[in-house]
């Protein structure tokens, strides 16, 4: 049964329609497109160039559970999350998925294109609904050629992502579920800049690559320690400092690299 559930999620990872509809719909509006919610990579582009660029950027509202790429898919658009959050998953044995990185407003989805490869090795799954900008692949490549600032920002993001993926690898190897869960919640909280989000334990189990029951017990323990609070698909961080203490050192390692 667990197996079949995993299978379902791996092949059609969208949540149920009802679950989708209620996930932070108010964040998806294009109203907040400006200001500090702007994507960091786009912000790196000088304002003069940006004016021309703007015509090629298309605001999109990403919905929870949406899959932007599957491994091997041709990359037609690149995405620049603003208030949204995208998970990068590695698939293995055709039915298991593991999150290896997350991309928010500090990065982009479709990075391989910048490296000259038109296919992603990951599944890109929208994990936090919200706003993003997107651009056709050809346009993005043209912009890259024109803007050294964009190139530099993309390179830095590539470096950070690589470091994040590697740290996640080690973390998954050495740390127990509870620590990893705490880290995941903190990192997600950082990126969506909010302390509560809507996620089921089932979903979390696929991110962390463990059984759903494992999440239940880890989350139960964290709740008992008054660090988080949750019920039926919503989780709230109520003691950020405590949660940092409960998480493994990987959290500060990754988040301190933020530059």
Partner DNA sequence: CGTAGTTTGTGCGTTGGCGTACATACGGCG
Partner DNA sequence: CGCCGTATGTACGCCAACGCACAAACTACG
Binding site for a copy of itself (CB under 8 A): 88, 90-93, 96, 98, 100-101, 112, 114-117, 121-122, 152, 155-156, 158-159, 161-163, 165-174, 209, 248-250, 253, 257
Q: Which does 168 bind (CB under 5 to 8 A by kind): DNA, a copy of itself, none?
A: a copy of itself
Contact mark string toward DNA, 170..189, x via CB under 7 A = ------xxx-----------
How many CB atoms sit inside 10 A of residue 77's CB? 19
| Cβ proximity to DNA, 86 vs 235, nearer residue | 235
Distant-in-sequence contacts of 239-247, Cβ < 8 A, 24+ apart: 240/186, 240/189, 240/195, 243/182, 243/185, 243/186, 244/182, 244/186, 246/178, 246/179, 246/182, 246/222, 247/179, 247/180, 247/182, 247/183, 247/186
Q: Applying CB under 7 A, does 22 fall inside the site for DNA?
A: yes
| Cβ proximity to DNA, 78 vs 182, nearer residue | 182
Task: Candidates 30-38, 183-191, 213-221, 242-250: pick the segment binding DNA (CB under 7 A).
Answer: 213-221
Q: Which does 147 bind (CB under 5 to 8 A by kind): DNA, a copy of itself, none?
A: none
| Cβ proximity to DNA, 5 vs 166, nearer residue | 5
Residue 166 half-sphere exposure, CB side, CA atoms within 13 Å? 8
Residues paired with 69 in a beta bridge? 124
Minimum distance from residue 189 beta carbon to DNA (Å):
17
CA quadruple 34, 37, 40, 42: dihedral, nearest 10: -20
Q: How far apart are CA 190 and CA 248, in angstroms?
A: 16
What the block records as the tokens of 156 is: 């830095």
| Cβ proximity to DNA, 169 vs 176, nearer residue | 176
Q: Applying CB under 7 A, does 93 fall inside the site for DNA?
A: no
Pairing type for strands 67-69 and 123-128 reads antiparallel
Choose which of 118, 217, 238, 253 interacts with DNA (CB under 7 A). 217
Minimum distance from residue 125 beta carbon to a copy of itself (Å):
14
Q: Which does 165 bind (CB under 5 to 8 A by kind): DNA, a copy of itself, none?
A: a copy of itself
Q: Applying CB under 7 A, does 230 fall inside the site for DNA?
A: yes
Confirm if 74 and 80 have CB atoms less than 8 A apart. no
Chain positions contacting DNA, by CB under 7 A: 1-3, 15-16, 18-19, 22, 176-178, 200-202, 209-214, 216-220, 223, 230-233
């Amino acid at each position: 049964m667990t197996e079949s559930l995993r299978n379902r999620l791996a092949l059609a990872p969208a949540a149920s329609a009802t679950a989708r509809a209620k996930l932070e719909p108010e964040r998806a509006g294009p109203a907040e497109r400006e200001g500090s919610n702007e994507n960091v990579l786009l912000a790196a582009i000088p304002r003069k160039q940006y004016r021309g660029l703007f015509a090629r950027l298309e605001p999109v509202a990403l919905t929870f559970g949406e899959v932007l790429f599957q491994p091997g898919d041709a990359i037609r658009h690149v995405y620049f999350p603003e208030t949204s959050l995208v998970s990068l998953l590695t698939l293995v044995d055709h039915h298991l998925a593991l999150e290896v990185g997350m991309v928010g407003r500090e990065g982009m989805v479709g990075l391989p294109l910048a490296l000259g490869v038109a296919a992603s090795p990951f599944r890109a799954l929208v994990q936090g609904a919200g706003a993003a900008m997107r651009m056709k692949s050809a346009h993005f490549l043209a912009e890259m050629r024109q803007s050294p600032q964009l190139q530099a920002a993309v390179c830095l993001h590539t470096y950070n992502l690589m470091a994040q993926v590697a740290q996640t690898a080690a973390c998954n190897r050495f740390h127990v579920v509870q620590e990893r869960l705490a880290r995941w919640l903190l990192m997600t909280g950082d990126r969506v800049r909010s302390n509560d989000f809507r996620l089921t334990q089932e979903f979390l189990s696929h991110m962390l690559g463990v059984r759903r029951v494992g999440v239940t017990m880890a989350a139960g323990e964290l709740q008992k320690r008054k660090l988080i609070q949750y019920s039926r698909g919503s989780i709230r961080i109520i003691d950020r400092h405590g949660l940092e203490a409960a998480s493994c050192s990987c959290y500060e390692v990754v988040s301190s690299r933020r530059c």
